[in-house]
Structure 1
Amino acid sequence: MPTIVVGDKELNGEEGKKLVLVLEDHGIDIMHMCGGHAQCGTCRVEVLGGSVEPMSPLELRTLQTKGVATDGHIRLSCQLRVKEDIAVQPLLTVHEMGVGPGPRPRD
């Protein structure tokens, strides 16, 4: 089972599960608004370490539309599937945004 490091927390993530769901299921404060469809860009994370799958054209287009650097360090957690150990930092949180998250993304 892959390990996801967020700050000083280590989470076990079910292999193949969307990163946004692993984070949310472990009580990590992460914003998401579009239900995991890579449309809103609010579930962004910075990948601090580890290996992640290549960015899809949809994810790339959403990040470009939002004016986010697309060098691979900033990713949409709704588009990343947990496959290996990684370290991430959520960039937008429910607490900071002051609103509740959108619909729970499907796995």
Structure 2
Amino acid sequence: MPKVSVCNRIFDAEEGTKLVLALEDHGVDIMHMCGGHAQCGTCRVEVLEGVLPAVSALETRLFQNKGIEPDGHIRLSCQIRVTSDLEVKPVLTVTEAGMGPGPRPRE
């Protein structure tokens, strides 16, 4: 089972789970407003370690629309399936935003 390291915590994540759901289900303070549709960009994470698939067309389009320069280290957690060990850091948290996280992202 892959391990996810975030905010000085490590937990097991079921292989194939969306990263945003693994983070939320393990009590990580992560923002996600659009329900996992790659439309808002609030679930961005900085990938500190780990191997991920190439940036998807949805991610590319969102990054272009938001003026975010994709460098391979900033990714949308709603578009990543956990397949190997990862170390990530949320870019935006619910606490920082001062609002609710939005609807639970779709599976």
After TM superposition, the score normalised by the length of structure 1 is 0.97
Q: Quote the Cα distance in structure 2 between the aligned partners of 1:103 and 1:80.
A: 18
Task: Describe how 1:1-107 pairs up with structure 2 within 5 A.
Answer: 1-107=1-107
Unaligned runs of 5+ in 2: none
User: Per-residue displacement from partner, 1:63-88 (whole Å, max 9, x unpaired)?
Assistant: 12112221110000000000000100
Unaligned runs of 5+ in 1: none
One-letter amino acid of the counterpart of residue 89, structure 2: Q
Q: Quote the Cα distance in structure 2 between the aligned partners of 1:64 and 1:75.
A: 13
SS in 2 for 1:58: helix
Moved more, 55-64 or 16-25: 55-64
Sequence identity percentage = 64
One-letter amino acid of the counterpart of residue 27, structure 2: G
SS in 2 for 1:78: helix
SS in 2 for 1:99: coil
Q: Kindly report structure 1 stretches of 4+ aligned residues shifted beyond 2 Å.
A: none
Q: Quote the Cα distance in structure 2 between the aligned partners of 1:22 and 1:4.
A: 8
After TM superposition, the score normalised by the length of structure 2 is 0.97
Moved more, 22-31 or 61-70: 61-70
The alignment covers a number of residue pairs equal to 107
One-letter amino acid of the counterpart of residue 9, structure 1: R
Q: Quote the Cα distance in structure 2 between the aligned partners of 1:37 and 1:73.
A: 20
